[in-house]
Amino acid sequence: MVSPRDTQECLQLLNDNIDSDVRFLAGGTDAVVRMKDNMWRPKLWINLKDVEELRYIEEKDDYIHIGPMTTYTDMVNSPLIQEKAPVLAQTSKEVGAIQLQNMGTIGGNIGTASPAGDTIPTLFILDAHIQLTSVKGSRLVSVEEYFIGPGRTVKEDDEIITEIIVNKQKENEIAIFEKLGPRKAQSISIVNCAVLLEMGEGNKECLGGRVAFGSVGPTIIRAKKCEQMLKMGPLDEHKIEDVADAAWKEVMPISDVRASAKYRRKMASSLLKRGLLRLMEGWDAR
Amino acid sequence: MSKDIALGKQNKDLKWVGRAVKRIDGPDKVTGEQKYMTDYHYDNMVWGRVLRSEYPHARIKSIDTSKAKDLEGVVCVLTYEDIPGFNGFGVVTPDQPVLAENVVRYMGDAVALVGAESDEIAEEALGLIEVDYEPLEAVTDPEKAMVEGAPQLHPDGNLHSEAVIQNGDVEEGFEEADFIFENTFYSPRQMHAFIETEGGWGIEEEDGLLTIQCPSQHGHRDKMQIARALALNPERIRVYSSPNGGGFGGKDEITVQIYLALLAINTGGRPVKLHLSREESVQAGLKRHPFKVTAKTGAKKDGTIVAHKVRAVADTGAYASLGGAVVALGVEHAAGPYYIPNIDLQGYCVYTNNGIASAFRGFGVNQVSVAIETHIDMLAEKANLCPIEIRKKNAYRQNEKSSLGNIVKSSVGTIETLEAAEQTDLWINRESYKADVKEPWKKRGVAIATSHHSVGMGIGTPDYGASSIELLEDGRFKVGLAIEEIGTGNGTVYAQVAAECLNCDIDDVIVIQGDTGETLDSGTISASRASYTGGRAIATAAPNMTQLLSEQAAELLNVDASQIVVGERKLHIYGDEAQSVTYKQIYDHLISQGKSTRVEGHFYFPREKEIKNSEGAPHYLYGYMTHVVMVEVDTLTGQTDVLKVIGIPDCGKVLNPQGLEGQVEGGAVMGIGYTLYEDVVMKDGYYETKSFTDYIIPTIRETPDIKTIAVESDESSGPFGAKGIAEVVMIPIISAIKAAINDAVGVRVKKLPATPERIHKLILEKEESRRLASGS
């Protein structure tokens, strides 16, 4: 295992070992588990823990820029995120439990690319972009194009994640993260869902929004049909029911030891319904 | 000092007993100073590893260890051929091979042992052992295992044991019943999930003495099982078995002690350590028996239960361990703490190729109590009666007949616990608590359930307590009592009882547990027996110490022993405190005369007359318990939260209120885990659940507000009136949560755990049938 001190050193190391079997160690909350299970046993671990320059949260050009080594706890405690992208703070609080939030990083969550990764649906609704960097230069990829399958992404072997850029929530944008796990703390999601609504002037008027589901397909799924329906008339209880009912058509879950595909499908609807009800109650009471 | 102290007749003015005395092991535990067996380190050590089976059922054609033996850094590789004695262990029926010879019967079967210079080399060596298996058909469903033609796993077939208790005429009972309820209930394969996995040290001393340091629930019995496998004189084995980092029944059987012993005699005197990973513990360790319980209950309109019939089938897995006893205890408790005149209770303990099930807190009662308690709730609903009233109406009292037909002579607190439940704020104001939901898709329910659980081993199993008390040079007392500390705080209770009986300060008592070299065998830490048995043993030994002290004081002060009074850290002449001797003086006096400073106390657990074919019923003593719980169900997801628990135990006199609260709270959380989350899932004999990633135990976020209200029935046979409580604390809560879910959303779960998916499915089915019924 090597522990570079800055991004440049890290990129150089990666480039020097490009033909070797290399893996990154960020917070280690997934990596160590997989190492124990004999799944991840690379020849070389590149430990990113000491790359302090990749750990930051700042506002720039109307966006929030987050370093990949930023922990969930950093995001929970960040006044900037609490104020301008509160749904990301809320999501970070739902990941694992305190111990895991102290260790785990947003870059690690994206890098592992688990279909059950808790922050990813939220990054979808915040229209996140991921900056990938190699010795040759940097490129920006939309979060929706980033994931191509469980554990598979468009990141090349010589690239590392160097930044995550997310939208700020506007004053009329409300958002929520809903999670169903086998228990409240320390659990892998059975289904999770993030919703963002752009509200209008009228009563329960929704101008549009984004809906993303996790754990119900090989990657995070954006529910475009549900999104279309959001703007078709006031978002009252009846409408919410209709939108939620449409969710099952958008997801492609599998059965595993945690839940059946059938249940996951139903839960996509339930979580969307619960999220919309909670959002609208908050909006009406504003 | 009269025998009455031990028998609960002098409860006034107690100085130590009944008080929230702090844990004697508390400071060491909270500061992390406490050393568990695997925390020790010895120089020049050897690492041990176990090669486990690759199949749930297979014939072993050959085992080739030559490559492993040739690996540099390997100290020894052992197979069944290296076992000097009997290749088997098991508390009741020793049918589990120490190391498999011809056949493997589950994924945890041990095939070979490796000792090596490092853990990594040991692991590598495991991969070099070549075992040629011929896979055989796995038997994984206990019902199918009993059918003719199923592959036979043991010479006597797949039915390990059965227990039957019949009384009255159950068919006549059903004929006179107004209502009959018939259901089948399934229960999960719960894992003990103790924080300390199985492990320890084995050391062969220069003089040939074999020392085993391994957490266990009965070191003296381990010693006998080790001796049998190694063909050693048990007196040449010393077992250190305390403290345990949790046990719950999972360390009642041999875990790794014999592996440690075998490795230790093959390393030329080098200390050997072996410590299972969590994954290996899941694979090889004991579990709770999954039961299929088919029950039929008949009752009158007024709530009188007239007949109860149960057929319980238990999956004991590959080997017997304590399976037969678990099923027998389940049968004994299947009718609940009630008098039902007509019963037919049958239990079957069946071998399969699933992981081994054995002792686990509750010991078969958890699984069967769900049937009677659920049927009582259904009766309450059907007959429009209060669930508490029905239970009170059917509960037996002390000196009345139980369903088994015997007169229960020991104290019975069922009705008092139910009355206390009735008086709780949660029960009285349950409608307003239920109405107080924050979101409309959440529904709340409040319910109660009650259960009993025996204390002690039951008929046919030796059940004794023994304690030594030694006066030390500094005037303190060393109390030796083998029953281990497994986290329950029984050591603190022993110190309290000793201080009370010896009229000394608790700091003047040193308690030694779980060391076969220094303590007398006093049976297991199991069966809710440790406080009662240990307490009685000390209370029997203490008067012998007082007598010894008084006689010596009398000699030194030149008076008759009857004139001597035990005061604070001294003995004096009655009416004249100035005429006294200290304990130190007595010690010196005894030593100068070459006399022993040690006394012993022995006692046998009281017993009943055995019911034919019951395999050990009835017990003399039972603890009783009622739970009141409130749950909240999210109807959108089926997720259930337990919000409030009130535990109302009758454990006789409370010896330490803080210790009791610990038991009630721990039992509640374990009961919540059993009811809502926990199951080791197996498919075709393979584990689908492999670690804590998928084995869901409650965390602090699933832990509700838990309150303890003790009902203290006076048990005249107990130490200061105490009984036992360690197991019943997790039993009624299971049925209470189920009933509260029903109160909230109108569905009855018959298969545990009540996962969100299961609850949600039941809610949908109920809505569907309602829609069909209304014809829309």
Nearest by CB to B677, from A182, A188, A190: name it. A182
Note the pLDDT of residue B12: 62
Taking CB atoms and an 8 Å limit, are A185 and B693 in contact across chains?
no
The answer to whether the peptide bond before residue B657 is cis (omega within 30 degrees of 0) is no
**Nearest-angstrom CA–CA distance, B264 and B245:** 23
**Nearest-angstrom CA–CA distance, B462 and B218:** 13
Cα dist from B429 to B422, B436, B666, whole Å: 10, 11, 26
| Residue B38 DSSP symbol | G
Contacts of B666 (CB under 8 A, 6+ apart): B729
For residue B206, give the 3-state DSSP assignment: coil
Q: Does B689 touch chain A (CB under 8 A)?
A: yes
Contacts of A57 (CB under 8 A, 6+ apart): A64, A65, A66, A67, A70, A74, A75, A78, A80, A81
Q: Does A271 touch chain B (CB under 8 A)?
A: yes
Contacts of B422 (CB under 8 A, 6+ apart): B388, B428
Residues of chain B with pLDDT under 70: 1-12, 776
The CB density around residue A96, as the number of other CB atoms within 10 Å, is 18
Q: CA nearest A188 in B: which residue? A: B693
Taking CB atoms and an 8 Å limit, are B757 and A270 in contact across chains?
no
| Residue B776 DSSP symbol | -
Contact status, residue B6 vs residue B533, Cβ threshold 8 Å: no
Contact status, residue A66 vs residue A164, Cβ threshold 8 Å: yes
Tokens of A111: 């890098």
Please write the tens of the pLDDT for every residue from B13-28: 899 999 999 999 999 9
B22: part of which helix (H) or strand (E)?
A: none
Report the share of chain B in percent with pLDDT over 70: 98
Instruction: Write the ipTM.
Output: 0.95
Tokens of B271: 């200390």
| Residue B455 DSSP symbol | E
Please write the tens of the pLDDT for every residue from B704-735: 999 999 999 999 999 999 999 999 999 999 99
Q: Is the pLDDT of residue A187 over 90?
A: no
Note the pLDDT of residue B11: 54
The CB density around residue A43, as the number of other CB atoms within 10 Å, is 9
pTM for the complete prediction?
0.96
**Nearest-angstrom CA–CA distance, A148 and A153:** 5
Q: Which parts of B65-194 are beta strand (E)?
A: 74-78, 103-104, 110-116, 130-135, 159-167, 179-186
* Longest CA pairwise span in chain A (Å): 60
Please write the tens of the pLDDT for every residue from A3-13: 999 999 999 99
Contact status, residue B129 vs residue B63, Cβ threshold 8 Å: yes
Tokens of A172: 């009329």
Average pLDDT for chain A: 95
Nearest by CB to B757, from A36, A97, A260: name it. A260
The answer to whether the peptide bond before residue A253 is cis (omega within 30 degrees of 0) is no
Q: CA nearest A264 in B: which residue? A: B757
Contact status, residue B407 vs residue B400, Cβ threshold 8 Å: yes
Contacts of B111 (CB under 8 A, 6+ apart): B51, B52, B53, B60, B63, B79, B99, B100, B104, B129, B131
DSSP, residue by residue, chain A = -B--SSHHHHHHHHHHTTTS-EEEESS-TTHHHHHHTTS---SEEEE-TT-GGG--EEEETTEEEE-TT-BHHHHHH-HHHHHH-HHHHHHHHHSS-HHHHHH-BHHHHHHHT-TT-SHHHHHHHTT-EEEEEETTEEEEEEHHHHEEETTEES--TT-EEEEEEEEPPPTTEEEEEEEE-SSSSS---SEEEEEEEEE-SSTT-EEEEEEEEESSSSS-EE-HHHHHHHTSS---HHHHHHHHHHGGGT------SS--HHHHHHHHHHHHHHHHHHHHHHHHT-
In this structure, what is the dihedral angle of CA atoms B725, B729, B735, B736, given to the nearest 10 degrees?
A: 120
Please write the tens of the pLDDT for every residue from A122-167: 999 999 999 999 999 999 999 999 999 999 999 999 999 999 999 9
Note the pLDDT of residue B776: 57
The CB density around residue B58, as the number of other CB atoms within 10 Å, is 21
Taking CB atoms and an 8 Å limit, are B699 and A180 in contact across chains?
no
Strand-pair category, B442-455 with B179-186: unpaired
**Nearest-angstrom CA–CA distance, B208 and B267:** 13
**Nearest-angstrom CA–CA distance, B733 and B625:** 9
**Nearest-angstrom CA–CA distance, A221 and A143:** 11
Tokens of B125: 């060596």
Q: What angle do CA B503, B507, B509 make, to 5 degrees?
A: 65
Contact status, residue A272 vs residue A223, Cβ threshold 8 Å: yes
Burial (CB count <10 Å: 0-12, 13-18, 19+), residue B137: exposed
**Nearest-angstrom CA–CA distance, A259 and B632:** 21
The identity of residue A111, as a single letter, is G
For residue B260, give the 3-state DSSP assignment: helix
Tokens of B574: 């009655």
**3-state SS, one letter per residue, for B331-353:** HHHCCCCECCCEEEEEEEEEECC
Burial (CB count <10 Å: 0-12, 13-18, 19+), residue B760: buried
Q: Does A274 touch chain B (CB under 8 A)?
A: yes
Tokens of B537: 């043993």
Residue among A132, A130, A124, A119 nearest A159 (CA): A132
Distance of residue A263 Cα from the nearest chain B Cα, in angstroms: 6
| B757 contacts on A by Cβ (under 8 Å) | 259-260, 263
**Nearest-angstrom CA–CA distance, A54 and A161:** 9
| B677 contacts on A by Cβ (under 8 Å) | 182-183
**3-state SS, one letter per residue, for B714-775:** CCCCCHHHECCCCCHHHCHHHHHHHHHHHHHHCCCCCECCCCHHHHHHHHHHHHHHHHHHHC
Residue tagged 């190699």 (tokens): A134
Distance of residue B689 Cα from the nearest chain A Cα, in angstroms: 8
- A-B interface: how many C-beta pairs under 8 angstroms? 54
The identity of residue B275, as a single letter, is H
Tokens of A150: 């469980």
| A273 contacts on B by Cβ (under 8 Å) | 636
